[in-house]
């Protein structure tokens, strides 16, 4: 992560000059100068991108014509992320209380009992999640795949919201909608945030602390390393329970194992996948999201996927995904070293070889998305009646 972190910092130092209009917008939104600069540079990077939205450019199977691109952004609450162990935050209103953390290989992790989540929750990881957010947003052409309508979707839940990149963007855009983000780690901004969003520490595998039929839109992204395989159906049931009839649930995941892997990457992916399975995780849940939604009773279930290059071979998008992957390798270093008995030097050498393989083998990941509608009670009983009559 060292090199990716420094390149991110270099980009951030080059703050774009703000126009009067942009300054005004900043004032209105009550964002800090740094936050606004980050958002602006990310947006400009996307606008300036010479990447066309075509499949052939990236030349990977199943790209869906949705070539992803660019991004730049950063964690916006450094003092918070840099806090040392045993101090931190949480609570229903997002204010700070004490919470213990675990430190693994120099990285800060959650300390939620029973939660298998493997990735850290420190500033480096938050940087990575911001970066990843913008690549994914571009890959899918927006923040949601289901049609989001601020006039209809008044209450929104983001499950496993992390630093809140998605929710902060959505709540800035849809000012008349109330957004709630939940996560096992309180890594969201506590001081500067839109008025229409709030955060709460919740372990989703233990049930959601909301009334039935509370939300119009429930969003969940990248929880593959968060939930034990056995918990997925329960969590989805909980998502359905708190969704209003007629409301939408949207899920997005990337499988643990990437595609077009070279020999080194294949070897380590095998070890990684076995390690995840040993921890009780479902490494293939990404491909089953639509089935999970249907099994939970949703209707009008739709799904899609975008193939996203990893490596400079995939132009700027690929470079950013490689940067993202550098972050993941850095985040998982402690655990992988433990799984493989490697030392630091061996680990770094392996990552270098993997980076070469990204280019030679044209590595890519598939990002899967599925969404569906919670039926109204009368629709469900009608459906049950129809299917009973058919038998
Ligand atoms: C890979 S991050 C994704 C963050 C965000 N959804 C995004 O797409 O940028 C996964 C997040 O899930 C959270 N998480 C893991 N297990 C969880 C659980 N059982 N309940 C709630 N959140 C959890 C982690 O703390 C982390 O912030």
Which domains, from first to last, does the chain contain?
2-390 (3.40.50.150)
Burial class of residue 48 in the structure, from the number of CB atoms within 10 Å of its CB (0-12 exposed, 13-18 middle, 19+ buried): exposed
Residue 174 has pLDDT above 80, yes or no: yes
**Tokens for 379?**
């629709």
Ligand 1 centroid – CA 102 distance (Å): 16
Residues 6+ apart with CB under 8 A from 155: 177, 178, 180, 214, 215, 216, 217, 244
Q: Is the CB of 221 under 6 A from ligand 1?
A: yes
130 neighbors 75 (Cβ within 8 angstroms): yes
Ligand 1 centroid – CA 289 distance (Å): 17
pLDDT average, residue stretch 119-124: 92
Residues 6+ apart with CB under 8 A from 314: 58, 60, 308, 321, 362, 364
More confident residue, 186 or 52: 186
The secondary structure of residue 231, as a DSSP letter, is G
Q: How confident is the model at residue 125 (pLDDT cuts 50, 70, 90)?
A: very high
The pLDDT of residue 101 is: 83
Q: Is the CB of 167 under 6 A from ligand 1?
A: no
Burial class of residue 191 in the structure, from the number of CB atoms within 10 Å of its CB (0-12 exposed, 13-18 middle, 19+ buried): exposed
Measured from the Cα of 165, ligand 1's closest atom is 9
Q: Which of 108, 117, 254 to mutate to test the pocket of ligand 1 (most atoms within 8 A of CB)?
A: 117
The pLDDT of residue 385 is: 54
Ordered alpha helix ranges (H), the chain: 2-13, 20-29, 33-48, 55-58, 78-81, 123-139, 165-173, 232-242, 263-278, 289-295, 315-331, 333-340, 344-361, 377-390
Ligand 1 centroid – CA 256 distance (Å): 15
Ligand 1 centroid – CA 183 distance (Å): 6
Measured from the Cα of 115, ligand 1's closest atom is 19
pLDDT average, residue stretch 11-20: 38
The pLDDT of residue 41 is: 47
223 neighbors 253 (Cβ within 8 angstroms): yes
Residue 263 has pLDDT above 50, yes or no: yes
Measured from the Cα of 133, ligand 1's closest atom is 9
Residue 71 has pLDDT above 80, yes or no: no
Q: Is the CB of 133 under 6 A from ligand 1?
A: yes
CA-nearest residue, atom 16 of ligand 1: 226
Measured from the Cα of 130, ligand 1's closest atom is 9
* Helix (H) or strand (E) run with residue 365 in it: strand 364-373
Residue 183 has pLDDT above 50, yes or no: yes
**Tokens for 201?**
């520490």
309 neighbors 317 (Cβ within 8 angstroms): yes
């Amino acid at each position: 992560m060292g090199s990716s972190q420094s390149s991110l910092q270099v980009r951030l130092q080059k703050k774009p000059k703000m126009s009067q209009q942009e300054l005004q917008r900043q004032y209105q939104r009550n964002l800090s100068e740094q936050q606004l600069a980050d958002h602006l540079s990310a947006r400009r990077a996307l606008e300036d991108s010479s990447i066309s939205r075509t499949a052939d450019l990236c030349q990977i199977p199943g790209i869906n014509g949705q070539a992803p691109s660019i991004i730049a952004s950063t964690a916006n609450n450094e003092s918070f992320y840099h806090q040392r162990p045993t101090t931190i935050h949480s609570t229903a209103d997002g204010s700070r209380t004490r919470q213990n953390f675990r430190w693994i290989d120099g990285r800060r992790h959650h300390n939620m009992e029973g939660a298998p989540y493997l990735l850290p929750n420190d500033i480096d990881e938050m940087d990575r999640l911001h970066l990843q957010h913008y690549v994914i947003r571009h890959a899918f052409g927006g923040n949601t795949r289901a049609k989001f309508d601020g006039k209809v979707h008044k209450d929104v839940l983001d499950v496993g919201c992390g630093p809140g990149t998605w929710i902060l963007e959505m709540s800035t855009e849809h000012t008349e909608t109330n957004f709630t983000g939940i996560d096992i780690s309180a890594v969201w901004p506590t001081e500067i945030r839109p008025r229409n969003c709030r955060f709460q520490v919740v372990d989703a595998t233990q049930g959601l602390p909301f009334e039935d039929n509370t939300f119009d839109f429930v969003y969940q992204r990248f929880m593959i390393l968060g939930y034990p395989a056995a918990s997925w159906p329960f969590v989805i049931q909980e998502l359905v329970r708190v969704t209003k009839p007629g409301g939408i649930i949207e899920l997005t995941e990337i499988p643990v194992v990437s595609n077009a892997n070279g020999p080194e990457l294949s070897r380590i992916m095998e070890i990684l996948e076995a390690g995840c399975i040993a921890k009780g995780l479902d490494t293939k849940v990404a491909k089953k999201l639509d089935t999970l939604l249907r099994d939970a009773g949703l209707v009008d279930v739709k799904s899609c996927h975008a193939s996203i290059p990893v490596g400079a071979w995939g132009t700027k998008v690929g470079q950013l995904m490689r940067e993202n992957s550098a972050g993941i390798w850095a985040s998982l270093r402690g655990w992988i070293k433990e799984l493989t008995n490697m030392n630091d030097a061996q680990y770094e050498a392996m990552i270098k070889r993997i980076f070469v393989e990204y280019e030679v083998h044209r590595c890519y990941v598939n990002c899967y998305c599925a969404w569906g509608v919670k039926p109204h009670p009368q629709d469900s009983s009608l459906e049950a009646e129809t299917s009973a009559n058919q038998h």
